[in-house]
Amino acid sequence: MMDVGRHPKIKLYSYSEIDNVSGYVGNFNVRIRKKARYVDENECTACDECAKVCPITVPNAFQMGLSLRKAIYMPFPQAVPSSYILDMEHCLGNNPIACGKCYDACDKKCIDYDMQDEIVDVKVGAVIVATGMDVYDPTRLDDYGYTRFENVITSMEFERLICSEGPTGGHFIRPTDHKTPKTIGFIQCVGSRTQDPERGNPYCSNICCMNTVKDSLLLKDHYPDVEVKVFYMDIRAFGKGFEDLFMRSKEKGVMYIRGIPGEIEEDPQTKNLRLMVENTTTRQIEEHELDMVVLSVGVIPRRDNEVVKKLFSLSTTSDGFLMESHPKLKPVDAPTGGVFFAGCAEFPKDVKDSVTQASAAAARAGVLLSAGKIKIEAITAVVDEEACKLCGICARVCPFNAIIFDKKSKTPAKVIEAACKGCGTCSAECPFDAITMQHFTDRQMYAQIEAILSDKPMDKIVTFACNWCSYAGADLAGLSRLQFPHNARIIRTMCSGRVKDKFVLHAFKHGAPVVLVSGCHFADCHYIDANRWTQKRVWKLWDKLEKLGIRPERLQLEWVSAAEGKKWAEVMNAVEEIRKTVTKEEVEHTIKVIREAEKPKKPKAKKEPAAATT
Amino acid sequence: MTEQHSASDDLRIGVFVCECGLNIAGSVECGEVAEFAATLPDVVFSCVNRYTCSDPGQQEIKRNIVEHKLNRVVVASCTPRMHEPTFRNCVAEAGLNPYLFEMANIREHCSWVHLYDRKAATEKAKDIVKASVARARHLSAQQEIELQVSRNALVIGGGVAGINAALDLADTGYQVYLVEKEASIGGIMAQLDKTYPTMDCSI
């Protein structure tokens, strides 16, 4: 931590947030809001004189609320920057009648009640997202009585109680009588590995088993006579040196009991805790009386993940952690170019794995930064200036504001190549076919559709799949060897937003019984919200099909993420069932009505202008 | 359709069907697919490779580009999400614009999901190749634009991961901006008393 503070190449913005990000790989413009801390962090010497005179006390969040701090405070003794901060929410203010004591006590006069937020703009080539995790809150698990029974604590509170810098100076005491407990129980997997959403999350939080093994050893080191019981379903000691540590804990006499207790009861007199558990090794129901219970709580995604997701167009897996580019081959790359992950933002991990991933992320970012330049794939939009009728729809639908169009100037729309990501929404929405997507041209799409339907069209399901989610979901189905009917023929687009209504009609016109359009889930779209346009377009198409007397269900729309191979297989089965219901007559009728609808309408007979007749 | 046909008479397409060991050949008759590919319009060469992505496989692509004057290349193998960059580089080394390369995914989308119906899988593989060749006929050369990269990095989050990433990048010589939401860096790690497996202090 100290190294960060003094490194000449690191500019630390603490107590700061990111307001806005624009740009793209290699060239991100980042706006940082340095929030007012009301203490000049460069001048503050952390002498503590201000806190000594501060009359306000509030629970200390760093100590998990187990002790108090002042309204002006140091977050913790080793904090970097080593500076106090004024908590304006609780401060009485500088009005001499109200307070203003700290200002008087500060020798260096580094307290400024009028300090304002500061805005800093920086330009960066690469971004590492290391936003971390939150800890599961077990309050809602009523049967464990957390917050109802004072002697039930979480593993995070345990850390503070056993720490020499903690509220008790490292004396491990139980909250009700401040005595050192003689028997302590740990309950594992609290908030983890459950299929019941009321009781937590389905995944394993990775760190809690070894954290408890460590805690049990700390207790045995400090208090050799203390009885420690660990209630668990599996002990996952899979890492280097982990099994040794687990064995050491057992050798020290820590009892490991396989079974998760159902309910904790408190003795109202002694405040001791009683719990019943089915020991699944001995198949006995056991009752244990304990002085204290530690809930080994799991890791959850940060509650404010949405912010960073939005800033960098990231997506999350079903468990809420940030999704990597490829689970095996690109585990630290975000799907957004130039963005990398480190630590628990991506998935729960311990200190060693966090450090490992941090180095990997730094190296991946280094690959980009050291090259000094980057090639942008030539899949961007190009406007045909002659065909452009100045309607401006393209500029309106572009999720990246990459199209410049000004109605007043009466010049055709212009694409900023470096900002265009190639989703193709503009091209799909252009009513005049005036926008070509390089490498994903209309002509290429039509050629694929025609090729697929040139032979036995009744057997085929023309499927459009976006590169990032649904195509990748189909890949995952393959990787997982899921088996499903063989009728789908996939056409890859970068985004489902590329799928023009004419592509769908072209497929029907060439005898497709069923067409499937598939894209990312809304929150996951790699082009911000381009798939909203896909949805609107499909809605319109459904109306159109209905009007033409074509069953709308022959056009299917599905959202499949890169992690949903199973869903892809289910969709394949479902669309195949629909295909089976389509008759040859129906397809022939479809071809006929679409051809008729495409015929140019006869121009209405215009009246000759009166002037011309004379 | 406002676009002009880029397909012209002098198209010379080569199709390379990959067996991927048994990953594809296990459920798809690759020889049959290659023979079928040869009948498609503008295809002047087709063959089967054991592993097209391997060095010998890539050498064969390069050799045939020269030998048969190929100006479009289709590789029928795995997902483009995996090896498209590999093959783009390969054809570029043989002097072809990388955007004149096209991939037909007959592994993830075919052989692996139809393991037990060789006939249907082979027919589907042919169809996938047919669509890819149809697309390849309309491919045109593209020039990628090159952008300068700013040599600064942003690290969001000053926990153990962010701190280490920032230090590694800064030690490499890049300017790092480390943004932390709280008043101090340290994150959750700073709240831990000791950490496993070393049982030493966290800060």
- Number of Cβ within 10 Å of residue A556's Cβ equals 19
Three-state SS sequence of A456-508: CHHHCEEEEEECCCHHHHHHHHHHCCCCCCCCEEEEEECCHHHCCHHHHHHHH
Q: Omega before A175 cis (within 30°)?
A: no
Reduce the DSSP state of residue A526 to 3 states and report it. coil
The verdict on a CB contact (< 8 Å) between A131 and B156 is yes
Reported as a single tens digit per residue, the pLDDT across A313-368 is 787 887 899 988 877 778 999 978 899 999 999 999 999 999 999 999 999 999 99
User: d(Cα A284, Cα A533) in Å, to the nearest integer?
Assistant: 60
Q: What pLDDT shows up at residue B195?
A: 92
Residue A411 sits at the vertex; the CA angle it makes with A406 and A415, to the nearest 5 degrees, is 75
User: Do residues A389 and B195 make contact, with C-beta atoms less than 8 angstroms apart?
Assistant: no
- Number of Cβ within 10 Å of residue A18's Cβ equals 21
What's the pLDDT band for A614 if we cut at 50, 70, 90? Answer: very low
Mode of pairing for the β-strands spanning A72-73 and A85-86? antiparallel
Mean pLDDT, range A420-431, rounded to an integer: 95
Residues 6+ apart with CB under 8 A from A196: none
B111 token code pair? 């052989």
Q: Omega before A224 cis (within 30°)?
A: no
DSSP alpha helix (H) spans, A224-349? 242-251, 305-312
How close B28 gets to chain A, by Cα (Å)?
13
What's the pLDDT band for A610 if we cut at 50, 70, 90? Answer: low
Q: Of A201, A181, A177, A189, nearest to A144 (Cα)?
A: A189
Q: Per-residue pLDDT for A181 more than 60?
A: yes
Mean pLDDT, range A49-59, rounded to an integer: 95
Reported as a single tens digit per residue, the pLDDT across B108-162 is 999 999 999 999 999 999 999 999 999 999 999 999 988 899 999 999 999 999 9
Q: What pLDDT shows up at residue A94?
A: 78
Beta-bridge partner residues of B200: B195
Q: Which of A7, A16, A117, A244 to mutate to test the interface with B (most CBs of B within 10 A)?
A: A16
What region, left, alpha or beta, does residue B71 occupy, with left being phi > 0 and alpha being psi -120 to 50 degrees? alpha
Reduce the DSSP state of residue B44 to 3 states and report it. strand
**Stretch (H or E) spanning A285:** strand A284-290
The verdict on a CB contact (< 8 Å) between A131 and B157 is yes
**Stretch (H or E) spanning A559:** strand A555-559
Reduce the DSSP state of residue A90 to 3 states and report it. coil
User: Do residues B90 and B58 make contact, with C-beta atoms less than 8 angstroms apart?
Assistant: yes
What's the pLDDT band for A606 if we cut at 50, 70, 90? Answer: low
Q: What distance lies between CA B44 and its chain's CA centroid?
A: 25
Residue of A nearest to B187 (CA): A132
Beta-bridge partner residues of A17: A33
Angle of the A155-162 helix axis to the A208-222 helix axis, nearest 10? 30
DSSP state of A347: S
Report the residue from B180, B185, B191 with minimal CB separation from A160: B191
pTM across the whole model = 0.79
How close B183 gets to chain A, by Cα (Å)?
4
Mean pLDDT, range A30-53, rounded to an integer: 96
Angle of the A530-547 helix axis to the A501-509 helix axis, nearest 10? 40
| Residues of A (441-470) whose Cβ lies below 8 Å from B | 441-444, 446-448, 450-452, 454-455, 460, 467
Q: What pLDDT shows up at residue B2?
A: 36
User: d(Cα A582, Cα A552) in Å, to the nearest integer?
Assistant: 12
The verdict on a CB contact (< 8 Å) between B161 and A342 is yes
Reduce the DSSP state of residue A75 to 3 states and report it. coil
DSSP alpha helix (H) spans, chain B? 30-38, 55-67, 80-93, 118-136, 160-172
- Number of Cβ within 10 Å of residue A172's Cβ equals 19
Q: What pLDDT shows up at residue A184?
A: 98
Reported as a single tens digit per residue, the pLDDT across A194-218 is 999 999 999 999 999 999 999 999 9
Task: Match 């212009």 to its residue by tokens.
Answer: A414
**Stretch (H or E) spanning B105:** strand B101-105
User: d(Cα A41, Cα B57) in Å, to the nearest integer?
Assistant: 61
What region, left, alpha or beta, does residue A88 occupy, with left being phi > 0 and alpha being psi -120 to 50 degrees? alpha
Mean pLDDT, range A241-270, rounded to an integer: 96
Q: Per-residue pLDDT for A603 more than 80?
A: no
Residue A405 sits at the vertex; the CA angle it makes with B3 and A311, to the nearest 5 degrees, is 100
Q: Per-residue pLDDT for B1 more than 50?
A: no
Mean pLDDT, range A71-83, rounded to an integer: 95
| Residues of B (124-183) whose Cβ lies below 8 Å from A | 124, 127-128, 130-135, 137-139, 142-183
Residue of B nearest to A483 (CA): B113
| Residues of B (99-118) whose Cβ lies below 8 Å from A | 99, 105, 107-110, 112-117
User: d(Cα A368, Cα A371) in Å, to the nearest integer?
Assistant: 5
Reduce the DSSP state of residue B104 to 3 states and report it. strand
User: d(Cα A236, Cα A584) in Å, to the nearest integer?
Assistant: 58
User: d(Cα B75, Cα B2) in Å, to the nearest integer?
Assistant: 29
Residues 6+ apart with CB under 8 A from B97: B91, B141, B142
Q: What pLDDT shows up at residue B7?
A: 47
| Residues of A (192-221) whose Cβ lies below 8 Å from B | 210-211, 213-214, 217-218
User: d(Cα A491, Cα B128) in Å, to the nearest integer?
Assistant: 9
User: d(Cα A593, Cα A107) in Å, to the nearest integer?
Assistant: 87
| Residues of B (28-47) whose Cβ lies below 8 Å from A | none
| Residues of A (376-395) whose Cβ lies below 8 Å from B | 376-379, 384, 387
Reported as a single tens digit per residue, the pLDDT across A438-448 is 999 999 999 99
What's the pLDDT band for B8 if we cut at 50, 70, 90? Answer: low
The verdict on a CB contact (< 8 Å) between B147 and A11 is no
Reported as a single tens digit per residue, the pLDDT across A499-516 is 999 999 999 999 999 999
Length of chain B: 203
Q: Per-residue pLDDT for A179 more than 50?
A: yes
A277 token code pair? 């558990």
Q: What are phi and psi of A286, to 5 degrees?
A: -120, 150
Reduce the DSSP state of residue B109 to 3 states and report it. helix
The verdict on a CB contact (< 8 Å) between B144 and A162 is no
Reduce the DSSP state of residue A81 to 3 states and report it. coil
Q: Per-residue pLDDT for B9 more than 60?
A: no
ipTM of the complex: 0.84
Reported as a single tens digit per residue, the pLDDT across A365-407 is 999 999 999 888 899 999 999 999 999 999 999 988 889 998 8
Burial class (CB in 10 A: 0-12, 13-18, 19+), A570: middle
DSSP state of B50: S
Reported as a single tens digit per residue, the pLDDT across B74-105 is 999 999 998 999 999 999 999 999 999 999 99
User: d(Cα A243, Cα A210) in Å, to the nearest integer?
Assistant: 9
Please give the C-alpha separations between residue A574 and each of A318, A514, A556, in angstroms, as whole numbers. 22, 11, 10
Please give the C-alpha separations between residue A328 and each of A319, A325, A333, in angstroms, as whole numbers. 18, 9, 11
Supply the Cα-derived Rg of chain A in whole angstroms: 32
Residue of B nearest to A474 (CA): B109
DSSP alpha helix (H) spans, A235-312? 242-251, 305-312
- Number of Cβ within 10 Å of residue A262's Cβ equals 11
Report the residue from B142, B193, B199 with minimal CB separation from A439: B142
Beta-bridge partner residues of A555: A515
Report the residue from B139, B155, B203 with minimal CB separation from A1: B203
**Stretch (H or E) spanning B47:** strand B43-49
A553 token code pair? 């269900």
**Average pLDDT, whole number, for chain A?**
94
Q: Per-residue pLDDT for B3 more than 60?
A: no
Task: Match 């280094």 to its residue by tokens.
Answer: A366
Q: Work out the end-to-end distance of chain B between its first and last CA atoms, rounded to an integer number of angstroms.
A: 65
B37 token code pair? 């590919």
How many Cα neighbours within 13 Å face the side chain of B148?
Answer: 5
Q: Letter for the amino acid at A454?
A: S
B107 token code pair? 């592994």
**Average pLDDT, whole number, for chain B?**
94
Q: Per-residue pLDDT for A613 more than 50?
A: no
Q: Per-residue pLDDT for A265 more than 70?
A: yes
